[in-house]
């Protein structure tokens, strides 16, 4: 999608502080961190939100979930971490490209907000 900032980051058109990258996903540090460690994990394929994911995306979504634990380990989040997916306006989604927030290195509260 030509006007999507995360698609531009995934393609390298916009630079990012990368944590992990392969042919399917990219992980990079959030520009507005909400925890000492706050990275985003995005599929390189444009999916607007979790609501827009289809059966065709199930392998990619499974892949991402399993990679998150590897990324967390590489960031030394041995005491735990939180993964959040914001979906839609009320869910707090501000970039319309599916992304996963990985937060750690502080105690998380519940309810989150």
Which residues participate in catalysis according to the annotation? 99
Residue 34 is inside which H or E element, if any? none
What is the C-alpha to C-alpha distance for residues 113 and 110, in angstroms, rounded to an integer? 8
* Closest by Cα among 81, 86, 103 to 36: 103
* Closest by Cα among 48, 49, 53, 31 to 40: 31
């Amino acid at each position: 999608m030509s006007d999507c900032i995360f698609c531009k980051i995934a393609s390298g058109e916009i630079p990012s502080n990368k944590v992990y990258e392969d042919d399917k996903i990219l992980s990079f540090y959030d520009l507005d961190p909400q925890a000492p460690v706050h990275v985003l994990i995005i599929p390189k394929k444009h999916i607007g939100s979790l609501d827009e994911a289809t059966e065709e995306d199930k392998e990619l979504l499974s892949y991402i979930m399993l990679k998150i634990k590897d990324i967390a380990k590489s960031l030394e989040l041995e005491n735990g971490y939180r993964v959040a997916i914001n979906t839609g306006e009320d869910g707090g989604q501000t970039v319309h490209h599916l992304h996963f927030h990985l937060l750690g290195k502080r105690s998380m509260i519940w309810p989150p907000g």
